[in-house]
Amino acid sequence: MIAYNQAEKTVQNMAQQMAHAADQLQLHGFDRYYNAMVGAYVSEVYKTLPYSTFAQMTNRAKTPLCSVEQAITYTTLYGKSHFDRFSSVIGQIMGRSTRTKAVTKTINVVDYGCGQAIASLALLSYIETYVNCENFTLNFYLVEPSQTTLDIAVLLVSKMSSRIAANVVIHQYHTDLAGFLAADSHKLAPADYSLHLFSNVLDIPKIQQIIPTLSTYLQAIDGKQMVIAVGPQYSNNYTGLQQLKQSLGGVTVKQDITDFSVESEIYSVTSNHWRHSHSRGVMMGLCFKNSLDDAGKTDLAA
Ligand SMILES: C[S@@+](CC[C@H](N)C(=O)[O-])C[C@H]1O[C@@H](n2cnc3c(N)ncnc32)[C@H](O)[C@@H]1O
C-alpha cells in the first residue's frame, strides 16, 4: 500500500512537472521549456529511470514511449538537439527573411511519428519569428503510436500555437504509419500546401517498409506538397531518406540529402552537466505539385 501510494505520488508529480514545462513553452518558448524538462529529469526522473534502463526499454527511443518519465528522459536527452536541427533545416529550406505582409493561407502540417511534436514546435517557432501569420489557418495532423507522447504533443502544439496569431487546428491520430495510411488516406483538408515532416523516423524499419505506400499517399494529395526530413547521421537514416526520395520520383529537390551540424547547449545525462555540443544530422527537402485530374479524383473517391 505504501509502495502504491508512493508510485501514485510520483505519477502525479511527473504530470505536474510536465504541465509546468508546457506553461514555460507557452510563456517563453522552447528553450525555457527544455530547461524545465531538464529540471524535472534532474530533480526526480533520474532516480527511477537511469539512462541505461531507458535505452534498453525503448530501443533508444525507436519504440513508442509509454510513460511521462520516459518522455521527460527523451526530451532531456534529445529534445534540444532535435529541435535545433529541425529549426536549422526549416530556416535553410524556407529562408530566414521576415515576411511582414499578411497573406491568407491554409497550410496542412503532417508530423509523422511526431513523438512529443518537436518538429511541429520548430515549425511554429519559425513562423513566430519570420512570418506574419494572422491570416493563416494551420491544420496539424499528429500521427503517433504512443498515446502518452501524443497527448503531450497535442498539449505542446496548442501551448506553442497560443504564441502566434494563426488559427490552429489540431487533428490527432493514435496509430502507427501503416494504420494512418490505411484509414485516413484522404483526410487532409483542402489547403494552399501541405507540409510533411519526418523528424528522426525514417530510420525505423517498420516505416521504411511502408515507404512505397507512403509515397503513393503523398502523390494522391491535391496541390503543392513539401517534404522535410531530418535525422541524426546514422546509416539507417540515409537509407530512409534515399528510399523516400527515390520512391517519390520526379520531384523538385529543394535540399538534397546532405550532412549538416548545429550547435546546442544540452544537458548530458551521462555526465550530469550541461555541455556545448555539435549535433550532426542529415536532411532533405522535396517539393512537388499533384494535379489530380478528374480520373484521379474519381479513383480516390471510390
Ligand atoms: C526517435 S522518435 C522521433 C520522435 C519525433 N519525431 C522527434 O523528432 O522527436 C521515433 C518516433 O517514431 C514513433 N514510431 C515508432 N514506430 C512507428 C511507426 N511504425 N509508425 C509511426 N511512428 C512510429 C515512435 O513512437 C517515436 O515517437
Residues in the chain: 302
- Distance (Å) from CA 152 to ligand 1 centroid: 14
Comparing 148-157, 266-275, 289-298, the range with the smallest average pLDDT is 289-298
Buried b (16+ CB within 10 A) or exposed e, 35-48: bbbbbbbeebbbee
The grid coordinates of residue 228 equal: 522535410
- Distance (Å) from CA 62 to ligand 1 centroid: 6
- Distance (Å) from CA 180 to ligand 1 centroid: 13
The CA dihedral of 222, 83, 87, 281, to the nearest 10 degrees, is -90
Mean pLDDT over the full length of the chain: 91
What's the pLDDT tens digit per position in 203-243?
Answer: 999 999 999 999 999 999 999 999 999 999 988 999 999 99
Ligand 1 neighbours, Cβ below 6 Å, are 61-62, 64, 82, 113-115, 118-119, 144-146, 149, 176-177, 199-201, 204, 206-207
Closest ligand 1 atom number to CA of residue 115: 27
Confidence of residue 3 (pLDDT cuts 50, 70, 90): low
302 pLDDT above the threshold of 50: no
How remote is the C-alpha of 163 from its chain's centroid?
18
Give, for ligand 1, the residue of 33, 150, 197, 204 to mutate: max count of ligand atoms closer than 8 Å to Cβ: 204
Task: Give the pLDDT of residue 297.
Answer: 41
Q: Is the pTM of this model over 0.85?
A: yes
DSSP string, 7-42: HHHHHHHHHHHHHHHHHHHHHH-HHHHHHHHHHHII
Higher pLDDT, 117 or 294: 117
Rounded Cα distance, 185 and 36, in Å: 37
Rounded Cα distance, 287 and 224, in Å: 7
Asked if 282 and 232 count as a contact pair (C-beta separation under 8 A), the reply is yes
DSSP summary character for residue 77: I
DSSP string, 186-254: T-PPP-SEEEEEEES-TT-HHHHHTHHHHHHHHHTS-EEEEEEEEEES-HHHHHHHHHHHHHH-S-EEE
Give, for ligand 1, the residue of 201, 211, 217, 264 to mutate: max count of ligand atoms closer than 8 Å to Cβ: 201
All structural domains of the chain, each given as residue ranges with its CATH number in brackets, are 82-301 (3.40.50.150)
- Distance (Å) from CA 18 to ligand 1 centroid: 20
Report which protein residue has its CA nearest ligand 1's atom 11: 113
Task: Give the pLDDT of residue 301.
Answer: 29
300 pLDDT above the threshold of 60: no
Region 56-75: mean pLDDT is 90
Report which protein residue has its CA nearest ligand 1's atom 14: 113
- Distance (Å) from CA 264 to ligand 1 centroid: 22
Higher pLDDT, 247 or 5: 247
What's the pLDDT tens digit per position in 161-170?
Answer: 999 999 999 9
- Distance (Å) from CA 237 to ligand 1 centroid: 13
